[in-house]
Amino acid sequence: MPYMISMRGVDKFYAGEKPALVDVNVEIEQGEFVFLVGHSGSGKSTFIKLLLREILPTRGTIVVAGQDLMRLKSWKVPYLRRNIGCVFQDFKLLPNKTSYENVAFALEVIGRSRHVIRTQVPEVLRLVGLEDKMDSYPDELSGGEQQRVSIARAFVNRPPLLLADEPTGNLDPQTSLGIMSLLSRINKTGTTVLVATHDREMVDSMRRRVIALENGKVIRDQDRGVYGYDD
Amino acid sequence: MTISLGYFLRESAINFRRNWVMTLGAVITIFLSLLLVGVSVATGYVVTEIVKDVERKVEVQIFLKDGFAEEDMIELQQFLSSDPLVASVDYTSKEEALAKFKEQMKESPEIIEQMEGNPLPASLDVKLVDARQVEVVVAKIKSNPTFPRVADKPDNPEESLKYAKQIVNRLFALTRVVRIVEIVFIAMLAIVSLIFINNTIRLAIYARRKEIGIMRLVGASNWFIRTPFLLEGVFQALIGATLAILTIVGLERAIMPKLREVLSFLDLSLGGTVMVQISLILIGSGILIGLMGSGFALRRYLKV
């Protein structure tokens, strides 16, 4: 299996701060479901930003979806991001657009045709279970529903890689479970899913691969792992 | 691309409404600076026409005394004709001078009635290749040894010369000063309009920072993100340019007929081609100002 994500000897230092990441070596295969766990400040956010090529590492090489990020020209970065779906804790929905319009917007701005938009948006909204809420605005939806819209937006372009940064951080346990099973279903379609989280129950119940970060170092990387911190 | 175009136009229109005070400021300053550019091009054109016309009419007249020696006159005429600065030298006899004078004065016959005999001198009329060289030619005439012998007033030959002293030079100096003042004003207004556009675009970027963040996230290309803002600056500039063109056409309609009346001896016209040229210049510089203004703002406020 080719790697979806490959990080070799990656260091990231911000000027005047303690190292954010130190000598990270991680390989994630196509179709894997991986948890990235650690306290706040352990380097999770830096990890995600590096994959999105929002920042470049101080040292080391990163390959994502076949692209060597060190050599990727900056004007090509948007094309890399079309291969990476993104989900965040705060949903990042546009308040003046309906669910349908929020998802359609993601296709519109990468120049997809009207026809593609009209067929794919309802389909993906059905997939996340929101076929009845297509015309609702974000403030008419619950937190879990808003996160489903944001997952629909991340997945509508069928990216090979889905990154989720604390996707259940603002949600109650019941709703979180629904979101996780949705991500798991997306993973079953062959999409690689990487979830950064500090939701202990979730990680322990799912029994997936866990990469644990502490002070910028990978301290543990095990298949079918648990959250494993004592906090 | 069809949905993109619709998208860009829609986004720009929304921003127009959202920041209409700033947008109005940008449009007005662009309008004023382009109006000044247009007026200065138009006046420049008219002044050049006037100068050319005056140049054609600048000549040096040498008055000849009664009963001058024919061969002296011919010698002087040949001396001047061979000079590269001189276009032509024509002889006007006393009779011709009188006829011309009567023609000019036909509206006041009492002056002609009072004249006894023919007081007018014959003359050599020297036309110049370049009006600005008038002093040089005059100096040459003065230093010619034949000149005092034929001059109307041999005691003081200089008084036998008539020419428009340095009018042309002054006209040129004046237009130069006017030109410099215009350029300074235009530059100042252009800078003010750049600042205005920069601000409208900055506000537009701020108002849409959430959309921009999501566009970056889902992989909208850099140009897709930038284009609505660039277009917005260009739209503002084009509205300013259109207003400026309309104003100049209006001014031309109002002023030129009167100017032609007052300066009827000059051949004055701002033909259609000149107006088209002016319009193209204004639209071109408008687009340039618009692109520059929004370009600065994008560089400073929009990280893609």
Cross-chain residue pair B214–A75, CB shorter than 8 Å: no
User: How far is A179 from A65, CA to CA, in rounded Å?
Assistant: 24
> Residue A114: its chain B contacts at CB < 8 A?
3
Q: What is the pLDDT of residues B198-232, one digit of tens each?
A: 888 888 888 888 888 898 898 888 888 888 888 88
> Residue B218: its chain A contacts at CB < 8 A?
81-82, 86, 106, 109-110, 153, 157
Measured over the CA atoms of residue A78, residue A80, residue A84 and residue A87, the dihedral's sign is negative
User: How far is B27 from B241, CA to CA, in rounded Å?
Assistant: 9
Of B130, B160, B125, which is closest to residue B54 (Cα–Cα)?
Answer: B130
Minimal C-alpha gap between A76 and chain B (Å):
8
pTM (predicted TM-score): 0.68
Q: Nearest chain B residue to A109 by CA: give it.
A: B220
> Residue B219: its chain A contacts at CB < 8 A?
78-84, 110
Amino acid (one-letter) located at B156: N
The predicted pLDDT at position A230 comes to: 56
Cross-chain residue pair B210–A94, CB shorter than 8 Å: yes
**For all residues of chain B together, what is the average pLDDT?**
82
The predicted pLDDT at position B203 comes to: 84
The predicted pLDDT at position B1 comes to: 46
- Show which residues on chain A lie within 8 Å of chain B, measured between beta carbons: 75, 78-84, 86, 92, 94, 105-106, 108-111, 113-114, 153, 157
Strands A161-165, A209-214: pairing kind: unpaired
Cross-chain residue pair B218–A75, CB shorter than 8 Å: no
Which two tokens mark A67? 């692209």
Tell me the backbone φ, ψ of residue B122, rounded to 5 degrees.
-70, 165
Q: Nearest chain A residue to B216 by CA: give it.
A: A78
Under a CB-based contact definition with an 8 Å cutoff, are residues A176 and A187 in contact? no
User: How far is B238 from B282, CA to CA, in rounded Å?
Assistant: 9
Domains, in order of start, for chain B: 2-54+169-301 (no CATH), 59-163 (3.30.70.3040)
Q: Please compute Rg for chain B using Cα positions.
A: 31
Q: What is the pLDDT of residues B121-132, one digit of tens each?
A: 888 888 888 777
- B165 pLDDT band, cuts 50/70/90, is low
User: How far is A213 from A197, CA to CA, in rounded Å?
Assistant: 11
Q: What is the pLDDT of residues B35-78, one digit of tens each?
A: 888 888 888 777 777 777 776 777 788 888 888 888 888 888 88
User: How far is B84 from B133, CA to CA, in rounded Å?
Assistant: 11
User: How far is B277 from A155, CA to CA, in rounded Å?
Assistant: 54
Under a CB-based contact definition with an 8 Å cutoff, are residues B128 and B84 in contact? no
Which two tokens mark B234? 């260009």
Question: Is it the case that residue B85 has pLDDT exceeding 70?
Answer: yes
Tallying the residues shown for chain B, one arrives at 304
Which two tokens mark A27? 């390989």
The predicted pLDDT at position B262 comes to: 75
Amino acid (one-letter) located at B68: F
Question: Is it the case that residue B134 has pLDDT exceeding 70?
Answer: yes
Q: What is the ipTM of this complex?
A: 0.85
Under a CB-based contact definition with an 8 Å cutoff, are residues B7 and B211 in contact? no
Strands A3-12, A59-64: pairing kind: antiparallel
Nearest to A81 among B7, B213, B219 (CB): B219
| CA distances in angstroms from B233 to A99, B26, B33, B242, listed in the order given | 31, 9, 15, 14
> Residue B224: its chain A contacts at CB < 8 A?
109-111
Eight-state DSSP code of residue A23? E
The predicted pLDDT at position A80 comes to: 94
Eight-state DSSP code of residue A69? T
Torsion from C-alpha of A81, A84, A88, A91, nearest 10 degrees:
80
Of B48, B55, B126, which is closest to residue B88 (Cα–Cα)?
Answer: B126
Eight-state DSSP code of residue B121? P
User: How far is B296 from B294, CA to CA, in rounded Å?
Assistant: 5
Q: Hey, which of A130-144, A214-228, B13-27 has the most confident mean pLDDT?
A: A130-144
